[in-house]
Structure 1
Amino acid sequence: MSMKFLLDLLPVILFFVSYKWSEGHKDATAEWLTQYLGFAVANGVVMAKQAPVLLATVVVVVATVLQVLILKILRKPVDRILWASLAIVVILGALTLWFNNEAFIMWKPTVVYWMMGVGFLVTEVILKKRMLRQMMGGQLDVPDAIWTRVGWAWAVFFVAMGFLNLYVAFVLYANDTDAWVTFKTWGTLALTLVFIVAQGVYLSRHALEPAGDAASGSRS
C-alpha cells in the first residue's frame, strides 16, 4: 500500500517540482521546449510566460507513463482509474502544448475527480461491490448501510473537489497559475487527508464488535 501511495504521488510531486524549478529559469525552459518539442506547439515557439506550466505538463505525462510501466514491470495490477488518468493527461497535455494554453491541463484534476466520483457512486452505492471494504483489507466489520453512506460521501467529495479545482483555477486565481499549482499539489492533498481521517473516525465509531468479544462482554 505504501509503495502504491508513493507511485500515486509521483506525478503530482514532479509536476510541482518541475514547475517551481522552471519558474526561475523561464527563458532557458522556453528555449529547450522550443528546440525539442516545438513540433508539438501550434506556432512552433514556446513563450517564456507559458514555459513553466508547459514543462510541468510534459513531466506529468512522462511520470504517469512511468507509473504504469513500473507497475507492469513489477507485475502489479494497473487500476482502471490509472489507465483513465493516463489517457486524460496525455490528451489534455497534448492540447496544452499544442495551443500553448494551460487551461487544458487545469481541467485534468476535475475530470479525474468527477470520474472517480461516478466510480464510487456506481460501485459503492448502486452495485454495492464494497470496494472500500476490500481496499481496507476487510479490517472493519461495519453495517452495510454505513458502507453505502461512506460510498455516497466519497462520491460527493470527489464531485465537490472537481468543482473546487475549477473555482480555484478559473475564478479565485484566474490569472495566477502559480497559486493554482500550489493548491493542486498541497491544498488538495491536505483536504484529501482530512477527509480520509474523518472517514476513518466515522467507520471506527460504527464498527461492529467481533462475535467472540461481544459474547465475552455479555458474560462479564
Structure 2
Amino acid sequence: MTRKINPVLKMLLEYGPIVAFFIGYGRLKDEVYTFGGTEYHGFIVVTAAFIPLLILTTGILWALTGKLSKMQVATVVLVVLFGGLSVWLNDERFFKMKPTMIYLLFAGILGIGLLRGQSWLKLVLEEAVPLQPAGWMLLTKRVALFFFALAVANEAIWRTMSTEAWVSFKTFGLPGAIFLFFMTQGGLFKRYGVEEKPEA
C-alpha cells in the first residue's frame, strides 16, 4: 500500500544524493587518495560514496512510502553497475555513461510500447496526469524522443567537455531540462486532458 510523506522530505531523499555528489566533487576534485597502493582521484572517491548514499535514501523512501517507481529502481541498479565499474576499474568514464544508459533504456522501452500500439508511459503517470488515449500516445512519442536527445547530449558533454562541466550538467542541466520539457507540454495536457467527474 502506497503511503504519502511530506513533499519536502520526499524531495530531499530523491535529490539529496545528487546535490551531495555535486558538493563533494567540488571539494575533492583536485585531491588524490591512495588506497591499497592505488591512487584514486576525487571523482572516484565521491562516486564510491554516492553509491551507498543513493541506496540508503532510496531504501528510506521505499520504507516510508511503500512504493518505488520503475525509474527509481532502474536508476539505482545502473548507478550500482556503472558506478561500481568506475570505482573497481578506477575509470570515471563508466559513471559518466550512466545517464546515457538510463535515458536510452527508457527511450527504448517507450519505443517498444509504441511499436505495439501502447503507451507504457501511461502505466507510470496515469494517476498524476489523466489524458485521453490519443494524448498518451503523443506524449509518449515526445518523451521517448526527449530521452533519446538527453542521452545524446550526455554523451556529447562528457566526451568533449571537462569533468567539472559534466558534473554541473548532471546536477542541474538534466533535471532542469526535464522540468522545462514537461512545462512545454501544457498545450497537450490542455487539449487531451480528462476532466474528473464530480461525485454524485
Shift of 1:125: 6.7
* Structure 2 partner of 1:106: 96
Going from structure 1 to structure 2, the CA distance change for 1:121 and 1:62 (only over 3 Å counts) comes to same
Write the deviation string for residues 38-63 of structure 1: whole angstroms up to 9, x where unpaired: 35xxxx4224xxx2211221232122
Q: 8 Å contact 2:135–2:188 — kept in the other structure? A: no
* Structure 1 partner of 2:189: 203
* Structure 2 partner of 1:11: 17
Give the counterpart of 2:180 among 175, 194, 206. 194
Give the counterpart of 1:97 among 84, 87, 94. 87
Q: Which runs of 4+ in 1 moved over 4 A?
A: 122-125, 208-212
* Structure 2 partner of 1:128: 119
In structure 1, stretches of 5+ residues that fail to align are 213-220
Matches within 5 A, 1:36-75: 38-39=35-36, 44-47=37-40, 51-75=41-65
User: What RMSD over aligned residues (CA atoms) do the two structures have, in Å?
Assistant: 2.5
User: Distance in 1 between the 2:190 and 2:89 partners?
Assistant: 49
User: Distance in 2 between the 1:20 and 1:72 partners?
Assistant: 29
Give the counterpart of 1:178 among 159, 164, 175. 164
Give the counterpart of 1:145 among 134, 141, 149. 134
% identical equivalent positions:
25
Equivalent position amino acid for 1:162 in 2 = A
Q: Which has the larger radius of gyration?
A: 1
Query: TM-score, normalized by length of structure 1?
Result: 0.75
2:161 matched to 1:169?
no
| Higher mean C-alpha deviation, range 99-108 or range 86-95 | 86-95
Equivalent position amino acid for 1:192 in 2 = I
